Structure 1
């Protein structure tokens, strides 16, 4: 009896195996799936890349904003003139916050994302290849630059800027617009 039960279970297992061995996808079904995945990827990849670039620019814009705010804060805290400095070194935008008495080349430089560049709309003062914004001991701007604008190295219309609107140091973050302002800038 045991041998018969054992043989019957082997036959059932063999039938079960054979039944599943014939199931699966055919070649045309697989090709349809591959083509559909290719079409979806073709449609989605450009949007995804634009989204990633926008996120990078938003992060870099926040870093620039907080660097400028930090310079303003340190100026009022220490009752000295402080500055936020920006430069491009080896294709990478860098920023530093330091007292105005310290030479910018001796400052502690921090990198922005490697895919970000300073845009031509940037209007900060330039001294020895370093763009700078200075704040006096009251936190007011020493001279009024208008904005620092960043964009992607890979092109596109997406821009982000930090716009300094008053001599008292009021600033805001902005993004590209479809029409230019009176100065011809698209980020304001």
Structure 2
């Protein structure tokens, strides 16, 4: 027989979390989010800059190949500033340039409607350059050499969303027309070749 003053055994509570446990969990998740979000945004900006630089380098190499293949000058307009639209130069912008030197590409997903098939819009990207012509152009002769022989052309590609993130650069040599890409370590608004660390090929 059981004594009368004995208490029945306690049941364990399995109802869920206490308010204190939930607050601690929310605080931990908040701290982890505060640490992860800036890194994630920086990663997206770097990825976008890398893709923009590769696309621009591809357009320049294609223009050079087409100039050699067609035995005609092929020039590309590369506007400076945010969200530039890279396009082929007209004959009035660059004397002797073939307006159709770049073959049509399917960029409808990237550019939207109302642009030529060879146009390339670099969204959330800013381009700075040492080009002085109006409009700023990079052209190639039928030999594949640049039409601008005054100095090496330096193009700096950076993000408009995160200006402090890494910048990329493209250098077109003035005599041979070599197109090289790398990381840019200076102020993008005044690009110099000395600040462009070229990647090994």
TM-score (normalised: structure 1): 0.73
Q: Look up the match of 1:8.
A: none
User: Are residues 1:146 and 2:143 paired?
Assistant: no
Q: Greater Rg, structure 1 or structure 2?
A: 1
Q: Residue 121 of structure 2 aligns with which residue? A: 111
Question: Of 83, 96, 107, which aligns to 1:92?
Answer: 83
Of structures 1 and 2, the one with the larger relative CO (CA 8 A, separation 6+) is 2
Aligned to 2:139, the other structure's residue is in SS state strand
Q: 1:47 aligns with which of 39, 45, 56?
A: 39
Deviation of 1:147 after TM superposition, in Å, equals: 1.2
Structure-2 separation of matches of 1:42 and 1:107: 42
How far, CA to CA, are the matches of 1:23 and 1:106 in structure 2?
A: 64
Structure 1 unpaired stretches of 5+: 1-18
User: How is 1:68-87 mapped onto 2 (pairs within 5 angstroms)?
Assistant: 68-87=60-79
Matched residues, number = 162
Cα deviation, residue 39, structure 1:
0.3
Equivalent residue for 2:136, pick from 126, 131, 149:
131
Is the counterpart of residue 38 in structure 1 residue 6 in structure 2?
no
Q: Does 1:23 align with 2:15?
A: yes
**TM superposition score normalised by structure 2:** 0.69
Q: SS of 2:185's equivalent?
A: coil
Equivalent in the alignment of 2:54: 62
1:117 CA drift (Å): 0.9
Partner residue of 2:110? Answer: none
Give unmatched runs, 5+ long, in structure 2.
1-10, 91-96, 101-114
Distance 1:152 1:37 in 2: 29
1: CA distance between counterparts of 2:127 and 2:12?
61
Give distance in 2, aligned partners of 1:184 and 1:63. Answer: 20
Partner of 1:102 in structure 2?
99
Q: Distance in 2 between matches of 1:81 and 1:133?
A: 11
Residue 164 of structure 2: aligned partner: 156
More helix by percentage: 1
Pairing partner for 1:169 from 173, 177, 190: 177
The CA deviation at 1:88 is: 5.5
Q: CA deviation at 1:142?
A: 1.4
RMSD: 3.1
Measure how far apart 1:95 and its partner are: 0.8
